[in-house]
Chain A
C-alpha cells in the first residue's frame, strides 16, 4: 500500500505548525491568491512559488514523506508559513479546483528532492552498520567508566544533600529558597547526570507549588533517594531494571531493540517547551502488534522538532525500542506513509479499572514512572469545575483528570465530542490523574492537545 500520493487533511497540516502565529499565518497563505507554478508529484513532493512583499517570489518545496521543508524565505520558523500555506493549499483542494496539479518538479525543487532521496538511500544502506565511535572499543569503554565514576560522585553528593535536608526538616526548605537547589542541579550537570539534574530542579520548585507541598516534596525526595541508591548498587539489579536506572539518571543509550515493523497509528503528538529545548512526544500504536510506543523528537528553543506526525495518520515503518522500561522507541526505516488512517484503525482500549492496574504493574519495572499510556474505552467525560472525571460507562467508578490537563482547552473539546455518550480516549494515566490526548467519538480521531 503505497499511499504517498494521498493528500493530507487540513488538520494534519496545521498540526505541523511550530506555534500559533505560524498556524495563523500559514492559514492565510492556504488560498490560491499568492501562489503560482504550484505542483505536486505522487512521490510525495509539493512545491510552489509564493509572492511575498519583495519582488521575487519565495521558492517553497515540501517532501511529505519526511516531512521535510525548504523555503527561500528568511524565516527561522520551521516549517515556515509558506510551507504550511502550500500544504494547506494542497490538502484543502478538491478535484474541481486544481491549484496544485500533478506535475514534474521544476529544477529548483527537483534538485533538493533528489538530494534528499539520495541521502535517505545512503542512510538506509548504512543503517544496519555500526555508528561512529565503534572504531576504538577500548577508548569507548574508558570513557564510559569515567562517566560512571562522575555520576557516582554526583549521586553520593545528592544523597548527602537529601540527608541534610531531612535532618533540618522540610519546613526549613521553604526558607532555603531555590538558589541552593539550583546550585545542586548544576553540580549534577557537571557530574554528567542530566536525569538527576532535572529531578533536583523539580525539587526546588515544589515548595512554591501550593498547599500540600511538604507531602509532594517528601515523595520526590524519596524517589530521588531511591534512584541514587539504585545507581550506587546497579550491579546487584536485574539487567532490565539497571537499564531503567541508567536511563533515569540520564545516560544516553541507543535504540538497539529489535526492529518491529507495523502499521503505526499516530495516537497523539504534543510539545513541551523548556527554556532551551522543545520536546515533542509522539505516541504510536501498532495496529498489528497492539503495542504502544513513544517517539521523542527535540528542537532548539523557537524551532519545532523536525519529526512531525499529526494525529490520525498511519505509517508503515520499523520501530526499535530503547533499553530499559518504558515505551520509548526510535523510528527506523519507513516503508509507506504517513497517510490518513482508515476510520477502522483504532487502538484497542481497556476499562477504567484495568487502566489503574496497568499503571500499578508498570511501576514494578520502573518505580519512577509518572504515567503510562492508556486507551480508555467507553468512558463518559464528566465536567466538574475543579474536578473533571472520566466515568466508566458501565460501572460507578471513574478516573480523575489530571490538574495539568484542566489548564489546556482540550477538555471542553472532549466533552463536546462525547455529548454525554461513551467515547474512547487515549491519554497518559498516573498518580496525578489522567491526561486526555485524543478522543474517538462517532467520527475520526480528535486531537485534544
Chain B
C-alpha cells in the first residue's frame, strides 16, 4: 500500500472504492494508506523558501514612553466610540475625547510611540481625520513603514506631517522633484511645509509653475500664502488679480486687502472713504453707498451680483469697507479712536451693515484694537455688541485678541449671560482654560443646577469643560459632585443627573492630571 501515491489515494477516495472495480483497495486499506501518507507528510514538513523580507524601518530615535503613559495610551486606544453605553453617559470619562490631548502632550515632550501600539494608533487615525496630524507625528517613521505594507493605512503616506514622507524644505532638489511630479495632495502638503519654513521659497516654487496649473489647483495653492503673508507677496497677488478664474481673483483680492500697505488696500480705502463721512454737525456718520460696480472694482475682487434678498448697493458697500484698511477710518472721521467711531450714530439704518463690515475687516486684518471696540464690554445687555454684532461675529473677533484677554472677555460674558450662548465663544479659548474662565464656567453650571434644569441642556459645555478645565480645579469641584437632597421645586431626578455629570467632570479632570503626570515620567 505504501507504494501507492497520495494522488491515487485521493482519486480513489473521491470516487469511492466500490466504483473502482476489482483492483480497488478495501476502505480499511485505503484509510490505512492515507493515514500513513498524512502522518509522513506532516512529519516531513520542511521550511519554505523565504519569499521576501521587508526592508528595515527607519529607527525612531525619540525617547520611549514611560511605562504608565504607555499603558494609558493602550487604554485610550482600546476605547471605541459608539459601543455600549447607550444614550446616557454615566459617570465615567469619555476616553476617546481625551486621545487628541494626550497625543499633543506626548508630541510636546518628544516621545516615540511604542511599536506594538502602532496598528491601533493607525486604525484610530484612519477613522478620525481630526486625529491624523498629531497621531502620525507621534507614530513616527515606523508607522510609515507599516503603512507601505498595509493598504488600509495608505492614508498615512499622504498625510504624513513634518515631512516624514515629504522631503525636508531645505532639500531643494527633493522639493523640486515632488513639486513637479507629486500628486495634488502631496503638492499641497509640500507647499504648506515649504511656506511655513521659508515664505519666499514657497512663493517662487508656486510662481514657476503657476500658468500651467489648473484653476481649482491654483485656488488651493494660493490659499497656502495665508501662512506668513507679507508685503513681499504683493506683486504675485497683484498679478493673480487678473487671473482667468473668478475664485482665484477673489482670493487674491482678499489676501491683498489683509495687507494694509498694498496698492489694492489703498484703492479700496479711497473707494470706501468716498462713501462714508461725518455729518455736517460732526456728531454722526452719513453713508452714501456706491451707485455702481465698475470694472476696476470688479478687478479688485468686488463681486458685482448680490445674493438673493440683498440690495446691490449695500452689498458693494459691505465689500468695500471690509477690504479697506481700518486705519482709513480714524483719518477720515476726525482722528477718533476705534471705540469712539463705533459709538457714533449712523444715518439711515446703515449701522448694521457698516459694523458687520468692520467686524470682517478687523478679523481679516487681525486688528485687536478694532476687535475690542466692536466686541464692546462682555456685560452689554443683549448677546450682541455695540452695533448688534452677532455672537458668531464676536467669536471671530475674539480670535484676534491674545489668549488671556480672550479668556477674560468670555469669562465676563458667561458671568452675565450664563452658558446657553457661550459654547461658540468657549471653543475658541486656549486649553487649559485660565483660572477666571474656569471659575466662571463652573459657577454658571452651579447656577444652572440650582435653577433646576437638566444637565443635558448643557451637555456641549460640559463636554468642553471635561476637556478644557484645568485639572487643578478638580478638588474645588468635588463638593458639587455629591448628592444633595432633591429640592421640592426642581425637575424630577435632576439632582441625581447633575451629580452624575459633575462626577464625570471631576473624574475626567483627575484622569487628565494623571495622564499629565504619567507623561512627565517617574520621579
A29-B71 contact given A222-B35, A382-B50, A420-B56, CB 8 Å threshold? no
Q: How far is the CA of A218 from the CA of B27 in the complex (A)?
A: 12
Q: Which residues from B are CB-within-8-Å of A353?
A: 46-47
The answer to whether B42 touches A363 (Cβ under 8 A) is: yes
The answer to whether A221 touches B31 (Cβ under 8 A) is: yes
The answer to whether B38 touches A219 (Cβ under 8 A) is: yes
Task: Kindly state whether residue A286 has any CB partner on chain B within 8 Å.
Answer: no
The answer to whether B18 touches A96 (Cβ under 8 A) is: no
Interface segment out of the listed B141-149, B297-305, B328-336, B380-388: B141-149
Task: Kindly state whether residue B522 has any CB partner on chain A within 8 Å.
Answer: yes
Interface string of A27-47 (1 = CB under 8 A from B): 111111110000000000000
Q: How far is the CA of A409 from the CA of B78 in the complex (A)?
A: 13
Q: Which residue of A lies closest to B58 (CB)?
A: A419
The answer to whether B16 touches A166 (Cβ under 8 A) is: yes
A10-B75 contact given A25-B84, A31-B514, A166-B16, CB 8 Å threshold? yes
Task: Kindly state whether residue A98 has any CB partner on chain B within 8 Å.
Answer: no
Q: Which residues of chain B from 123 to 158 have any CB-CB distance to chain A below 8 Å in the complex?
A: 142, 145-146, 149-150
> CB within 8 A of A218: which of B10, B64, B146?
B10
Q: How far is the CA of A381 from the CA of B54 in the complex (A)?
A: 8
Task: Kindly state whether residue A168 has any CB partner on chain B within 8 Å.
Answer: yes
Q: Which residues from A are CB-within-8-Å of B53?
A: 380, 382, 391, 420
Q: How far is the CA of A420 from the CA of B142 in the complex (A)?
A: 10
Task: Kindly state whether residue B510 has any CB partner on chain A within 8 Å.
Answer: yes
Interface string of A87-100 (1 = CB under 8 A from B): 01001111011000
Q: Which residues from B are CB-within-8-Å of A384?
A: 51-52
The answer to whether A419 touches B42 (Cβ under 8 A) is: no
Task: Kindly state whether residue A303 has any CB partner on chain B within 8 Å.
Answer: no
> CB within 8 A of A171: which of B15, B67, B517?
B15
A-B contact count (CB 8 A): 234
Q: How far is the CA of A251 from the CA of B459 in the complex (A)?
A: 61
B64, B75, B142 — most chain A CB neighbours (10 Å): B75
Task: Kindly state whether residue A223 has any CB partner on chain B within 8 Å.
Answer: yes
Interface segment out of the listed B113-121, B194-202, B212-220, B342-350: B113-121
The answer to whether A420 touches B93 (Cβ under 8 A) is: no
Q: Which residue of B lies closest to A383 (CB)?
A: B149
The answer to whether A96 touches B517 (Cβ under 8 A) is: yes
> CB within 8 A of B80: which of A24, A34, A214?
A24
The answer to whether A360 touches B10 (Cβ under 8 A) is: no
The answer to whether A166 touches B80 (Cβ under 8 A) is: no
Q: Which residue of B lies closest to A30 (CB)?
A: B75
A419-B115 contact given A96-B517, A367-B39, A391-B50, CB 8 Å threshold? yes
> CB within 8 A of B16: which of A91, A172, A380, A387?
A172
Rounded to whole Å, the gap between the CB of B136 and the closest CB of chain A is 14
Rounded to whole Å, the gap between the CB of A229 and the closest CB of chain B is 8
Q: Which residues from B are CB-within-8-Å of A317?
A: none
Rounded to whole Å, the gap between the CB of B35 and the closest CB of chain A is 4
> CB within 8 A of B146: which of A214, A382, A389, A412?
A412
Q: Which residues from B are CB-within-8-Å of A218?
A: 9-10, 13, 34, 38
The answer to whether B39 touches A363 (Cβ under 8 A) is: yes
A416-B503 contact given A163-B27, A218-B10, CB 8 Å threshold? no
Task: Kindly state whether residue B308 has any CB partner on chain A within 8 Å.
Answer: no
Task: Kindly state whether residue B68 has any CB partner on chain A within 8 Å.
Answer: yes
> CB within 8 A of A225: which of B32, B48, B49?
B32
A24-B79 contact given A383-B54, A415-B146, CB 8 Å threshold? yes
A380-B54 contact given A27-B78, A219-B38, CB 8 Å threshold? yes
Q: Which residues from B are CB-within-8-Å of A421?
A: 56-57
Rounded to whole Å, the gap between the CB of B484 and the closest CB of chain A is 14
The answer to whether A34 touches B503 (Cβ under 8 A) is: yes
Interface string of A235-279 (1 = CB under 8 A from B): 000000000000000000000000000000000000000000000
Rounded to whole Å, the gap between the CB of B89 and the closest CB of chain A is 10
Q: Which residues from A are CB-within-8-Å of B93?
A: 28, 31, 33
Q: Which residues from A are CB-within-8-Å of B32?
A: 222, 225
Rounded to whole Å, the gap between the CB of B381 and the closest CB of chain A is 40
Q: Which residues of chain B from 32 to 86 have any CB-CB distance to chain A below 8 Å in the complex?
A: 32, 34-35, 37-39, 41-57, 64, 67-68, 71-72, 74-75, 78-80, 83-84
Q: Which residues from A are CB-within-8-Å of B35?
A: 222-223, 225-226, 367
Rounded to whole Å, the gap between the CB of B384 and the closest CB of chain A is 40
B9, B30, B49, B506 — most chain A CB neighbours (10 Å): B30
The answer to whether A222 touches B31 (Cβ under 8 A) is: yes
> CB within 8 A of B142: which of A10, A166, A419?
A419
Q: Which residues of chain A from 353 to 407 have any CB-CB distance to chain B below 8 Å in the complex?
A: 353, 355-356, 359-360, 363-364, 367, 380-384, 387, 389, 391-392, 396-400
The answer to whether B47 touches A169 (Cβ under 8 A) is: no
Rounded to whole Å, the gap between the CB of B97 and the closest CB of chain A is 12
Instruction: Give the interface residue-count category, chain B.
Output: 35 or more
The answer to whether A360 touches B43 (Cβ under 8 A) is: yes
A29-B54 contact given A34-B503, A219-B38, CB 8 Å threshold? no
Q: Which residues from B are CB-within-8-Å of A171?
A: 14-16
The answer to whether A23 touches B74 (Cβ under 8 A) is: no
Task: Kindly state whether residue A352 has any CB partner on chain B within 8 Å.
Answer: yes
A162-B510 contact given A29-B92, A387-B51, A431-B45, CB 8 Å threshold? no
Q: How far is the CA of A53 from the CA of B55 in the complex (A)?
A: 53
A27-B75 contact given A166-B17, A415-B146, A417-B116, CB 8 Å threshold? yes
Task: Kindly state whether residue A134 has any CB partner on chain B within 8 Å.
Answer: no
Rounded to whole Å, the gap between the CB of A12 and the closest CB of chain B is 10
Q: Which residue of B lies closest to A361 (CB)?
A: B43
Q: Which residues from B are CB-within-8-Å of A223?
A: 35, 38-39
A169-B56 contact given A353-B47, A387-B51, A396-B50, CB 8 Å threshold? no
Rounded to whole Å, the gap between the CB of A387 and the closest CB of chain B is 7
Rounded to whole Å, the gap between the CB of B121 and the closest CB of chain A is 9
Task: Kindly state whether residue A139 has any CB partner on chain B within 8 Å.
Answer: no
Interface string of B368-385 (1 = CB under 8 A from A): 000000000000000000
> CB within 8 A of A33: which of B13, B46, B506?
B506
A20, A32, A416, A446 — most chain B CB neighbours (10 Å): A416
Rounded to whole Å, the gap between the CB of B188 and the closest CB of chain A is 29
The answer to whether A389 touches B48 (Cβ under 8 A) is: yes
> CB within 8 A of B49: which of A222, A380, A398?
A398
Q: Which residues from A are CB-within-8-Å of B508?
A: 33
Q: Which residue of A lies closest to B499 (CB)?
A: A51
Q: Which residues from A are CB-within-8-Å of B95?
A: 27-28
**12 A-B residue pairings within 8 Å (CB atoms):** A24-B84, A27-B95, A92-B72, A171-B14, A353-B47, A380-B53, A397-B49, A412-B146, A416-B116, A416-B117, A420-B53, A431-B45
Other A-B pairs, 8, CB within 8 Å; known A27-B79, A28-B79, A94-B518: A163-B31, A219-B34, A219-B38, A221-B13, A360-B42, A391-B51, A397-B50, A420-B56
Q: Lowest 8 CB-CB distances: which A-B pairs, in order?
A: A33-B507, A169-B16, A28-B92, A10-B71, A222-B34, A419-B57, A420-B56, A397-B47
